A and B are shown apart, each in its own frame.
Chain A
Amino acid sequence: MSQKIDTDMVKHVAHLVRLGISEDEAQKFSGQFSSIIDYFNMLNEVDTDNVPPASDITNNTNVLREDVAKPSMSREEFLKNAPQSERGYIKVPTVLGEE
């Protein structure tokens, strides 16, 4: 399973996390990623047949509460941090595009 992470793979994962990346950065990260992933491959040694995965340790299942309407932050307050807003909404450029 030991595989090199080439610059194309770096650019692919950068896009998955919506991170702009330059050619130089892709080069740099490619080398670093390969050594880190190599280190992770040591987990292959561990026998995990019949071992369930753990996503957390609280053993909680769904925690429910009554659905009661309560006052929340005002729209004006909420929008204080929005880079751009208009008529009480957050404003962004086109969302529906080619991709």
Chain B
Amino acid sequence: MKFKQLSLFLENQPAHLKQPCQILADAGINIRTLSLADADQFGILRLIVADWERAKRVLEEAGCAVRVDDVVGLEVPDERGGMAHVLSVLERGGHNVLYTYAFTFGTASRAVLFMRFEDPDAAIDTLQGGGITVLEPTRWLAVSG
């Protein structure tokens, strides 16, 4: 039930974000979603792609250092209180969200959230127990690919 998220270290300079994106484009790999955490001198690019192993390989062959982490993907209604509800379920289970990023899909009134936890398996149990739809990576990446 967990997604593999790739993280890359980037220097905070013009064109440095484009380079890994171009490498993936040249390899025919679509970036499904991303987030960028930025500090003064550098940023960390986090990517969700369908074929993470191949993406990691082509990025490493191009000289990038790539880290892989498990993240949890979930779906909530795209409406007022959707996010707050998820967070209150997590709060009851005592889970700390290390970071999250969210996006909506087309016209469907659903939003997708990716979340990183210290213990993703326990968080998945809590979320499912609270009636929240946790995304199954293979199916989700195939359907929305």
Asked if A and B are interacting partners, one says: no
Measured CB to CB, the residues of B under 8 A from A are none
